Amino acid sequence: MDTAFLLEQLKELPFYQNQIVHVEHIPSQSASYGELDKPLPPLLESALKSAGMFPLYTHQVTALKVARAGRNVMVSTSAASGKTMCYNLPILEALLNDKNCCALYLFPTKALAQDQMQTLLRLSSHLHYIECALFDGDTPQAERAGIRRRSRVVLSNPDMLHLGILPNHSMWSRFLRCLRFVVVDEAHMYRGVFGSQVGNVLRRLRRLCGYYNSFPQFICCSATIANPKEHIEKLVGLPFDLIEENGSSYGGKDFVFWNPPLIDEAHMVRRSTNSEAASLLAELVHRNIRTLTFAHTRKLTELIYRYSHERLVDLGLAEQIKPYRAGYLPEERRQIERDFFQGNLRGIVATTALELGIDIGDLDATILTGYPGSIASTWQQAGRSGRKQQRSLSILIGASNPLDQYFMHHPDSFFHKGFENALINPGNIHILKSHLLCAAWELPLVGTDKEFFGESFTQVLETLEQSGQLRMRKGRWYPSPTINYPAAAINLRSVSDYRYTLVDSSQRNKLMETVEGSIALLQLHPGAIYLHQGETFLVVELDLHSHTAYAQHVDVSYYTQARELSELRIISVIQEKEMAQSRIYLGEVEVTTTVIGFKKKMQYTEEVIEEEVVELPPYSFQTVAVWFDIPPEVKQVIYDAGLDFAGGLHATEHATIAMLPLFALCDRNDIGGISTLLHPDTGKPQIFIYDAHPGGIGIAEKGFELIQQLWEVTQKMIVDCPCEEGCPSCIHSPKCGNNNQPLDKEAAVMLMDELCHPLHL
């Protein structure tokens, strides 16, 4: 594809208003092949040649050599680089050489497991067939016993390992006794709360394997992140060899940063990213360019599809595109994948369900509707196009938020900056407590299990014993007789010990879903609009005693945003350091949040149409925070200039939170903050940034470590925003409980300038 010519054509379209703010020309790369010091089994080499997978890239050869040596492997290379073969090769070789050898493949989604199953079956069909099976929540009960008895390769996911395999390990004794390999694919997906939970699931697996006298080798793959070795070693709890060299061929890419035009300069409101995405998709489909468009949510997926469909009707091409998201029946998703793979479709609008490596054939272009939240995810999505040896196109459409606009104005910070750090904390006592209970239910705990679960093991064990959930007999800890199947009580994507149940009161209280206790009051307060599988529901009642929310389906043009008040108390200082004229602290804090009301906001225009008050009890949790002192000189300078010091603190807090995801793989909703003119525990003006999950997952620690870089990008983002008084692209926060009041952009610039470049006031 002649991407340069295509971009010139896009500039001639009626809707083009200088949206292209940067084009990065990424060069092509020739394949680099390696040689094995020991040949593959003839059957396996023949199978690879038949599939067009031979000769092997250098990183595939290196992975095979390390795996053959019995060491754990982490492969961190770009999308479409052939990472799958890095684990399939050593495992298939071992399966051919040892008839008892077994392997467990873990994928973050069912769809990816099904896709990789097809790849494995195609290869194993040349190897006199190796018994492979999918084992997840959709596996029929009638087939499960046969899988446990016969399968040598089981493809599953962490949820099924946690709920279905580990608690029933005696039924899996044959498989666990022979388990030689564990594959963790897309390991970068296991971060934050989810990654911290999965880290404990993998420790429970290793512990049970030791009981069956098997010590499996781990072969893991990840998208490119800043800390692949550190991350995988924290996730699994074992040492790893890292392979980052990429020997695969690459046709090159033109990566376009596309900033929607301003439609309201006073308030820095830009044209909708959804409208821009629909126009671009329709134009590319019209030009017969196979395109995948990513949207953040299910609802936006349907919206962009509808807009694009309308534009293509007059051209007779409306049936050439389809939406793709979770919530569709599995057979519907498989049909869309097949149609796209076979060339029956030219375009798909999808959620991140297609970000991972599901094979839908070769793509010419990808459109990203807004920054996906991390550099790693951006490259994953963009990397879905360009799987042929020809040049491809990716377009990132900037939204009106600080991170998107920072990259639109500073593209070098995207293309020439390191990737973010994946952060997890398996030792979080709130998370570990539940998994130790599960581990004890699976097999009584002993003191030496500390080698699996780390330094928090003893403390959490004592807590569980004091609460009566564990009982010690003869040096072993057993669950109390009242404890039954504790794995069922754990949501791997949550930290809370309890959850709220959401039911449809118009359908005889039909269960819809459960919501983590720490965010339930924010999302399920009376009057809240809740989105469930793309449909809107109005919460009509919240029962605090039974932890049940009752909702009814409604068709409304607004959404709700909770208003909250937060207080923070310092429990202890873990670490502190001096920088310029400020002192920075890392410590344990207690955050108390009270939902006091909510706003009704029109979809798409964000206009506030009504505000209501609610009365709910406060919610408290302990977490980790970073906070810093404000240079005393800047306070007086701000007052002398007639500016609002409190507004400057508040604006700085918002902006710092917005930019922290540049350094850590997290979402803005994973971070909380408080600014105050006089904090009761310090007696000084203070800005706190904290992990919004009980116990913390490492975000505050990363902020403490990189505080200078964080200040610098925050300052640059505020200064470069062309608005006069602050806007959603710099200091406004969509989740501010104080209605973004007070805010003072000029005061924030002064404050950040002094933090970054002291002694000039």
The DSSP H or E segment spanning 180 is: strand 179-184
Could you tell me which residue, 673 or 724, shows the higher pLDDT?
Answer: 673
Q: For 67-116, give the DSSP string.
A: HHTT--EEEE--TTS-THHHHHHHHHHHHHH-TT-EEEEE-SSHHHHHHH
Domain positions in the chain: 3-18+251-415, 42-243, 429-489, 499-555, 571-593+620-756
pLDDT bracket for residue 326 (50, 70, 90): low
Cα separation, 468 vs 457, in Å, equals 17
Residue 496 C-alpha from the chain's centroid: 19
- Residue 525's nearest CA partner among 599, 620, 603 is 599
For 571-593+620-756, CATH number out of 3.30.1220, 1.20.1050, 3.30.1360, 2.160.20 equals: 3.30.1360
Q: Residue type at 455?
A: E
Same fold, 3-18+251-415 and 42-243: yes
pLDDT of residue 595: 93
Strands 582-602, 619-629: pairing is antiparallel
For the residues 50-79, what does the mean pLDDT come to?
95
pLDDT bracket for residue 514 (50, 70, 90): confident
For the residues 90-113, what does the mean pLDDT come to?
93
The C-alpha torsion from 113 through 118 and 119 to 123, rounded to 10°, is 130
Q: Do 703 and 626 form a contact (C-beta atoms < 8 A)?
A: yes
Query: Global pTM?
Result: 0.89
pLDDT-wise least confident of 157-166, 412-421, 568-577: 412-421
What is 42-243's CATH superfamily? P-loop containing nucleotide triphosphate hydrolases (3.40.50.300)
Topology (CATH level 3) of domain 3-18+251-415? Rossmann fold (3.40.50)
Q: Do 397 and 367 form a contact (C-beta atoms < 8 A)?
A: yes
Q: Taking the CA atoms of the chain, what radius of gyration do you get in angstroms? A: 27
For the residues 678-690, what does the mean pLDDT come to?
97
Q: Which of 43-47, 252-256, 661-665 is predicted most confidently?
A: 252-256
For the residues 433-462, what does the mean pLDDT come to?
96
pLDDT of residue 297: 80
Q: pLDDT tens digits for 397-430?
A: 999 899 999 999 999 999 987 789 999 999 999 9
For the residues 701-708, what does the mean pLDDT come to?
96
pLDDT of residue 327: 62
Beta pairing partners, 122:
none
The 3-state secondary structure of 667-695 reads CHHHEEEEEECCCCCCCCCEEEEEECCCC
For the residues 692-709, what does the mean pLDDT come to?
94
Could you tell me which residue, 301 or 394, shows the higher pLDDT?
Answer: 394
The C-alpha torsion from 673 through 690 and 404 to 272, rounded to 10°, is -60
Q: pLDDT tens digits for 29-59?
A: 999 999 999 999 999 999 999 888 999 999 9
Topology (CATH level 3) of domain 429-489? Arc Repressor Mutant, subunit A (1.10.10)
Residues found in the chain: 761
For the residues 361-367, what does the mean pLDDT come to?
88
